[in-house]
Amino acid sequence: MLKLHKKTFPELTTAELYDLLRIRSEVFVVEQDCVYQDMDYDDQAAIHLWLTEGDHIVALCRVCPAGTHMEEVSIGRVITTERGKGYGKRIMLEGIAVAKEHFCTKRIDIEAQEYAKGFYEQVGFRQSSEAFIMDRIPHIRMTWSEE
C-alpha cells in the first residue's frame, strides 16, 4: 500500500533522515556520477515528502520556502526509486499541494535536469530559462504557476 510521509526537518527521525540522504546520494552522486555537495542547509527549512510501498521508499522530494534554495518557493531533490510506476508524478503533485498549502504560493520554480523537461511539463511546469550547466549536468529552470 502506497503511503505519503510529510515532515519538517525537526520532525524527521535520525533513521528517516539517513534513508532520505542515502537515496539522494545513491541517485545523484553514484548513479549519475556527479560529485556535488548535496547537504546544503536548505533541508532545515524544507518540508520533506516521500512515498513508501511497504517499508521501501519509492519517491521523494523536498519543498523549500522562498529565499532558501531559490528566490521563489521551489521543489527539488526529486527522485523515484522505481521508475515507470507513476511515483514521480505523484510526489510532484504532492509537492505542489504542500507548496500551496504551507507557503501560500501561486508560483514554484525548479532547476530541472534538461532530460526530464517532459516529465515536469506533465505536472504543469514550463521552461523559464535557457539551458545551463550545474554540477556538470545540463539543467533548465522551470516554473509552475496558478495564474
> How many C-beta atoms surround the C-beta of residue 2 within 10 A?
13
Between β-strands 73-80 and 107-113, what pairing exists: parallel, antiparallel or unpaired? Answer: parallel
Which pLDDT belongs to residue 79?
95
The ranges assigned to domains in the chain are 2-145
Tens digits of residue pLDDT in 22-33: 999 998 877 777
At 93 the three-state DSSP class reads helix
The pLDDT profile of the chain, 147 residues, written as one tens digit per residue, is 999 999 999 999 999 999 999 999 998 877 777 777 788 999 999 999 999 999 999 999 999 999 999 999 999 999 999 989 999 999 999 999 999 999 999 999 999 999 999 999 999 999 999 999 998 899 999 999 997
In CATH, the number for domain 2-145 is 3.40.630.30
Model's pTM, two decimal places? Answer: 0.94
> How many C-beta atoms surround the C-beta of residue 3 within 10 A?
11
